[in-house]
Amino acid sequence: MLRIDRATYDAIVAHAKRDHPDEACGVVAGPEGSDRPERFVPMVNAAGSPTFYEFDTVDLLKLYKEMDARDEEPVVVYHSHTATEAYPSRTDIGLAMEPNAHYVLVSTREHGNSDGPVEFRSYRIVEGSVTEEDVSVED
Amino acid sequence: MAVEVRIPTILRTYTGGQKAVPGQGGTLSEVIEDLESNHPGIKERLVEGEDLRRFVNVYVNDEDVRFTGGLGTSVNDGDQVVVLPAVAGGCAPAVVAAWSTTDGI
């Protein structure tokens, strides 16, 4: 199960809405081994695309060095789908390289940049196999 | 040339869980060959044909090697080599799988 606090959940949703119709992406870092997503880090989608996302390679190195220095890991890796459901695509599965992360998918297909509910779902993706998990938003 | 190579979580199965391992070589290509001799199987995860895999990033002293000569990038004593898989994906259907397969979805 993914346990995430309300403020971080809201920040992910707001980022996804803001970047719609392009895909938004980022991580929530947390202490290594803690499984606690604590530090929200929105990233630029270097692909700037409605169908693909990729962290800029310079930003990526900076992020990982920063996490390393703080003994953190990416507890959540999130991105949005803007025209399809919040379920990992074959591309998402093929490129999922963080076996310990919760992969969060947000779909903005219903309301785009506007207010309104979004699909917010979480998965484990390990060696090509996808397992959906419950999301508990904690106030 | 002796360098330190930082290994991402997903490849630590090849390094006995170690986050960083020593490497030897005058170019990135030689360092990867040296890694392969100590950690068999790791090269396949980094290199495809004559090039780095599309979704693998390698940095020598914080420089993305794609801008410094790729596998031919020279390395010097004490350099740090960092390997990081891309964080990428999206609903697009036509992207090749990243590391272990090359089936070009």
Instruction: Give tens-digit pLDDT for B41-83.
Output: 999 999 999 999 999 999 999 999 999 999 999 999 999 999 9
**% of chain A at pLDDT higher than 70:** 100
Q: What angle do CA B15, B4, B46 make, to 5 degrees?
A: 55
User: Taking a C-beta distance cutoff of 8 angstroms, is the pair A32, A73 a contact?
Assistant: yes
Subunit contact B92:A99, Cβ cutoff 8 A = no
Residue A92 has pLDDT above 50, yes or no: yes
What Å distances lie between residue A33 and A37, A75, B35, B44, CA to CA?
11, 9, 27, 28
CA A24 to CA A22: how far, in whole Å? 6
CA A23 to CA A11: how far, in whole Å? 15
Q: What is the predicted pLDDT for the residue at B55?
A: 94
Provide the CATH number for the domain around residue B19. Answer: 3.10.20.30
In tens, the pLDDT along A19-50 reads: 999 999 999 999 999 999 999 999 999 999 99
Mean pLDDT throughout A112-130?
Answer: 95
**Residue-range definition of the domain harbouring residue B21:** 2-85
In a domain, B103, yes or no: no
In a domain, B101, yes or no: no
A-chain residues near B14 (CB < 8 A): none
pTM of the model: 0.92
Subunit contact B90:A57, Cβ cutoff 8 A = no
Provide the CATH number for the domain around residue A91. Answer: 3.40.140.10
Subunit contact A92:B8, Cβ cutoff 8 A = no
Q: Could you give the number of structural domains in chain B?
A: 1
Confidence of residue B103 (pLDDT cuts 50, 70, 90): very low
Q: What is the predicted pLDDT for the residue at B39?
A: 98
The residue whose two tokens read 């310079």 is: A58
In this prediction the ipTM stands at 0.95
In tens, the pLDDT along A47-68 reads: 999 999 999 999 999 999 999 9
The two three-digit tokens of residue A62, written as one number: 């900076």
B-chain residues near A52 (CB < 8 A): 88-92, 95
Q: Could you give the number of structural domains in chain A?
A: 1
User: Taking a C-beta distance cutoff of 8 angstroms, is the pair A86, A130 a contact?
Assistant: no
Q: Is A130 strand, coil or helix? A: strand
- Average pLDDT, whole number, for chain A? 96
For A55-70, b/e burial (b = at least 16 CB within 10 A) is: bbbeebbebbeebeee
Subunit contact A91:B91, Cβ cutoff 8 A = yes
Q: Determine the longest span between alpha carbons in chain A, in angstroms.
A: 39
* Nearest residue of B to residue A126, measured between CA atoms: B10
* Nearest residue of A to residue B55, measured between CA atoms: A95
Subunit contact A60:B66, Cβ cutoff 8 A = no
Measure in Å the smallest separation between the Cα of B8 and chain A Cα atoms.
9
**Residue-range definition of the domain harbouring residue A26:** 2-138
